[in-house]
Amino acid sequence: MGKRYFCDYCDRSFQDNLHNRKKHLNGVQHLRAKRVWYDLFRDAAAILQEEQSKKPCRKFLQTGQCDFGSNCRFSHMTEQDLEKLSAQVQGEQRLKELRQEGADVPPGTIEDWLEKRAKRLSTAQNN
C-alpha cells in the first residue's frame, strides 16, 4: 500500500510520492485552505484595516450569501460588524497601553479562570 501523506489544512490524504505531494501543495484548493487557516490567527487591527479598504459585496448585501465565500475580494462585513471590530481593536490597544505603563492588568485567559475555579472547588471540598 505504501506511505500516505495527510494534509492538515485540506483534511485529506493521498499516496506520498514527490509528484503527488508537489501537485497537492501547489494546488488551488490547498492554497485556499492554508490561507483560511492562517487568517484565523490574524489580529483584529489587520482584519479591520483590510475590511475597510474593500468595497462591500453587493450580492452578499442583497441575498445574505455569496458564492465566493471567504475567497470573495469584496467585504462581507456590515456596518455593525465593522463597529464591533473597531471597538475590539480599541480595547486591545488600551490593554496594550496599560501593560506598557506597568498597570496591574488581571489575566483574561480561560485557562487562568479554570485554574482558579478548580482551586476554589478543591478547597471548598476539603473544608
126 pLDDT band (50/70/90 cuts)?
Answer: confident
Mean pLDDT of 63-85: 89
126 lies in some domain:
no
Q: Are residues 30 and 75 in the same domain?
A: no
Over 58-101, what HEC string results?
A: HHHHHHCCCCCHHHCCCECCCHHHHHHHHHHHHHHHHHHHHHHH
Q: Are residues 53 and 65 in the same domain?
A: yes
Tell me the pTM: 0.58
Instruction: Answer whether residue 1 shows pLDDT above 60.
Output: no
User: 5 lies in which domain range?
Assistant: 1-41
* Average pLDDT of the chain, as a whole number: 87
36 lies in some domain:
yes
Instruction: Kindly report, residue by residue over 24-56, the tens digit of the pLDDT.
Output: 999 999 998 998 889 888 888 998 999 999 999
Q: Are residues 49 and 71 in the same domain?
A: yes
pLDDT of residue 35: 87
